[in-house]
Chain A
Amino acid sequence: MADDVRTKPQQSANRIVNEPIPDATAGDGITGTGPLVYWRVFRTFVRNSLVRSMGFRANFWLECVSSVCWTIMNLVFFKIVFSYTDSIGRNTGWGENEFFVFLGTTWIITALIQTFVMPNAQEFSELIRTGHLDFALLKPIDTQFLISFPQMVWSNLANLFLGILLVGYAVLRLMADESNPLTLGFTQVGLYLFFILCGLVILYSVMIAMASTSIWLGRNQTLYTFWFYLTNFYRQPMEIYQQGMWGWTLWGFFTFVIPILLVVNVPARILAEPLRPGLDERTWSLAGLTLLVTLLMLGLSRWVFQAALTSYRSASS
């Protein structure tokens, strides 16, 4: 083994010497950090995490099965609820089918967050604690991008398909409703998808900002707990909070301070039209607010992230 390496340099020496010695300005030749670079890196992350999860096949299927089971139990629970009542809240329009659009949307968003965002937020916190964030800081690419996407837990995507199925089923039922049928246009479906994206950005921003605090705290293991609290609040139509002092307080807090109530409510309202025919004024004002909040939260998370990085201490050697 030692001989191997000792003799090798002589053999390959010529090959290297023939190449130009890098000069001082060599690195400045490439300045493009366009979207294409980010796309290629993202694709590699997708590839690597896929290869990785396939490497642990049994684990992959177990995770799929357990999360699908949990989701189906969730559905059964709401089936039972709707055997006692016709709608969630009085005159809100959230009947069984409308609510199943809402529920399916929740699954879609939750699945996407748990596939793409949560593993990375968690990992980011871990990188800080162990000092492995060093490597991310060395790379000539946006650090926030680099830590936001490397890990993807693909088994969590199983619920995405269940969500799509549920939304599709409930929408078809609503369209077939004889007394007050739902009519959908492309614009509405487009807006639905767009506001799902906004919801994802809001949740991403909240989680990344939370994870960034690990730099000051040393470690932050409350991420999943925090995520659990969030999901508990955003998975309900916001109308249920709109009564009494406590209800309105919660509503105000989760709409304006930590605006997670907008995440599912806005796209679900746009698609299910609980107060049809047509989208009411309220839905439009919430949509406007969501747009604003999305940009604001993204900016805020970026600011927190950058501020945190300057305090990074790089644990251990």
Chain B
Amino acid sequence: MVTRIAPPEKPWRLASPKTMPLIEIDQLSKHYQVYQKQEGLWASVRGLFHRQYRQITALDAISLQVERGEFVAFLGPNGAGKTTTLKILSGVIHPTSGTCRVMGHVPWQRANAYRRRFALVMGQKNQLWWDLPAQESFRLHQHIYQIPAEQFQATRDELVDLLGLAKLMRQPVRELSLGERMKMELTAALLHRPEILFLDEPTIGLDVVAQHNIQQFLKHYQEVRSITILLTSHYMKDIEALCQRVVIINEGRIQFDGSLAEIVGKFDQERIVSLRLADTTGIADLQQFGRVTRSQPPQVQLRIPRSQVTSALTEILNRYQVDDVSVSDPPLEEVFAHLFTQGREATDQGASAPKEDMAGSRRLTGEARH
């Protein structure tokens, strides 16, 4: 099931004598006990005295290696285990079993020497002081991370400059927009120049412009600083723009590990051909070339198997008067949706717990974990 593809060789890796990967995860599992809440008042009262728990598997023996300087995306539906992985890697939670080493440290031992070298940014939680200008939180970080004054100023000014935050430094965080706040969060997280950056849905809830800004920033920053970034996101745009390597997690297992191009090549066997016809006669016959997904004469959209695209196009151009033609890949969303359903079907065939049930109990406890 798991497709392991070695990450591409990087020039700086050749220069470095170390061959040990930066992040090594081996057979990592995480189970939660979750209180089963029954419906209704009487059941709730009973729940005060006698509780039923069920076990949820957030991570099911995943193994993974990441090299220095990689930009890896974790992709998967809600509750797949992406956030859990990041939380274990950053030492916030302990795994149930398995081993993990990041830069030679066991994350959940929470050694200060380790904690100085990475940062975690979460789109859903913010760490800046809500009622104060972000500048005050930055100062606190300076003292906590013991950043020398000169380095602190240089780093801060550089980040503020890159993210265009200069005008917002004196505003209380609560008065910033979501996008501005996320930029401030990123700045705070990067002040101590971490070597690894864990990003948990950094663009969640942002508008297209803000998303784009943050993508541009991350891309640029990762390139010049050659830091290692692990990112989870729901937005395919993030992943398309940023990551060379994609790890697909579903139901606590790694379904795929490789480059974006490989996914598209492997799972996406069709191309989308859009036509604008000058003459719509015989439009119905187009379906012999492929699946017609949209027909609004004079516009027609077809799905044609990848291998037949060339021959089909030649034929179509011969037979019809075509004003305009374009060929594109199906949207990534579709590819992933397909992948996730595949994973689910595979699990459902096994005698495991029904999926619906699991999602339901997560929602009820109000403490869903990813």
B174 to chain A, nearest CB (A): 10
Task: Report if A73 contacts B (CB, 8 A).
Answer: no
A interface residues (Cβ-Cβ under 8 A, vs B): 1-2, 4-6, 8-9, 12-13, 15-17, 21-22, 24, 26-28, 30-33, 37, 40-41, 44-45, 47-48, 51-52, 55-56, 130-132, 134-135, 137-141, 143, 146, 218, 310, 312-317
A41 touching B143 by the CB < 8 A rule?
yes
Q: Are A27 and B113 in contact (CB under 8 A)?
A: yes
Whether B112 contacts A138 by the Cβ 8 Å rule is no
Given contacts A132-B127, A135-B127, contact A2 B120 (CB under 8 A): no
Between-chain CB contacts (< 8 Å), 14 pairs: A5-B163, A8-B161, A15-B158, A16-B158, A27-B114, A48-B136, A48-B140, A52-B132, A55-B131, A137-B92, A139-B144, A140-B114, A313-B369, A317-B122
Interface residue tally of chain B, by bracket?
35 or more
Q: Which of A2, A12, A218 contacts B162 (CB 8 A)?
A: A12
> Which residues of the partner chain B approach A32 to less than 8 Å between Cβ atoms?
146
Determine if A27 and B195 form an interchain contact, defined as CB atoms under 8 angstroms apart. yes
Name which residue of chain A comes closest to B79, CB basis. A317
Assuming the contacts A1-B213, A312-B92, A315-B369, asked whether A138 and B120 have C-beta atoms less than 8 A apart, the reply is yes
Contact count A vs B, C-beta below 8 Å: 147
Additional 12 contacts, C-beta under 8 A, given A26-B193, A41-B143: A1-B213, A5-B163, A5-B164, A8-B164, A13-B220, A21-B12, A37-B144, A48-B132, A55-B132, A132-B127, A310-B94, A317-B200
B209 sits at the interface (CB 8 A): yes
B146→A30 contact, CB < 8 A: yes
Please choose the segment from B83-91, B309-317, B344-352, B353-361 that sits at the chain A interface, where 4 or more of its residues have CB less than 8 A away.
Answer: B83-91
Residue in contact with B144 in the complex, picked from A131, A134, A141, CB distance below 8 Å = A141
The smallest beta-carbon distance between B22 and chain A, in angstroms, is 8
B195 touches A48 (CB 8 A): no
Q: Which residue of chain B has its CB nearest to the CB of A315?
A: B367
A134 and B146 contact, Cβ closer than 8 Å, known pairs A5-B216, A52-B132, A313-B367: no
Q: Is residue B93 within 8 Å, beta carbon to beta carbon, of the partner chain?
A: yes
Residues of A within 8 A of B21 (CB): none
3 shortest interchain CB distances as A-B pairs: A27-B117, A140-B115, A140-B112
- A16: B residues at CB distance < 8 A: 158, 224-225
User: In the complex, what's the smallest C-beta–C-beta distance from B203 to chain A, in angstroms?
Assistant: 14
Inter-chain contacts of A141 with B (CB < 8 A): 112, 144
Given contacts A9-B220, A21-B225, A317-B369, contact A51 B195 (CB under 8 A): no
